[in-house]
């Protein structure tokens, strides 16, 4: 791993979801808290990142707001990178994120970002994935993360 774990960040086994890690900031005033509890696990080279959208994530059509979905995807890139053992948390940044909305996300049902690592270089991570909800595809995405600068 290229950086050290930060005490203000949570990445630990979730007591109610065997095989899943809890992911997020310990500080409830940070942005990630708006997205709610997140779970992450790695299976067959794919990181699965979950959140359950609520009314606070909705638009006027009672579907997941596009901005909330983009925020989830952005955070999922980092949760996935952590599960791949490539970063822990902190000063990594999103360089680009391209998203294609495929369908509307439903409230109260888990959304899952399935993230694949395409390539790692000395400073960059190239990732892509799909957001699903049950059997429905909600969005596809690709993104690039710049790894933390060594201090």
Confidence of residue 4 (pLDDT cuts 50, 70, 90): very low
Write out 36-105 in H/E/C secondary structure: CCEEEEEECCEEEEEECCCHHHECCCCEECHHHHHHHHHHHHHHHHHHCCCCCCCCCEEEEEEEEECCCC
Note the pLDDT tens digit of each residue in 84-138: 989 875 678 999 999 999 999 999 999 999 999 999 999 999 999 999 999 999 9
pTM: 0.88
Note the pLDDT tens digit of each residue in 57-87: 999 999 999 999 999 999 999 999 988 989 8
Residue 19 in this model has a pLDDT that exceeds 60: yes
Between the CA of residue 60 and those of 40, 73, 104, 122, 137, what are the distances in Å? 29, 21, 12, 43, 21
Give me the pLDDT at residue 7, please: 59
Contacts within 8 Å (CB) and 24+ apart, 52-58 = 52/108, 52/109, 52/110, 52/111, 53/105, 53/106, 53/107, 53/108, 53/109, 53/111, 54/107, 54/108, 55/107, 57/107, 58/107
Note the pLDDT tens digit of each residue in 37-60: 889 999 999 999 999 999 999 999
For residues 127 and 147, the answer to whether their CB atoms sit within 8 Å is no
């Amino acid at each position: 791993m290229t950086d050290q774990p930060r005490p203000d960040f949570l990445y630990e086994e979730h007591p109610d979801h065997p095989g899943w890690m809890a992911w997020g900031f310990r500080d409830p005033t940070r942005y990630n808290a708006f997205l709610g509890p997140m779970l992450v696990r790695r299976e067959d080279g794919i990181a699965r990142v979950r959140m359950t959208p609520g009314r606070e994530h909705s638009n006027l059509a009672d579907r997941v707001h596009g901005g909330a979905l983009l925020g989830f995807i952005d955070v999922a890139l980092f949760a996935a990178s952590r599960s791949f053992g490539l970063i822990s948390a902190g000063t990594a940044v999103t360089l680009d994120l391209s998203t294609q909305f495929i369908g509307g996300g439903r409230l109260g049902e888990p959304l899952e970002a399935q993230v694949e690592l395409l390539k790692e270089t000395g400073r960059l991570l190239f990732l892509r994935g799909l957001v699903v909800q049950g059997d429905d595809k909600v969005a596809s995405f690709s993104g690039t993360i710049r790894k933390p600068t060594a201090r």
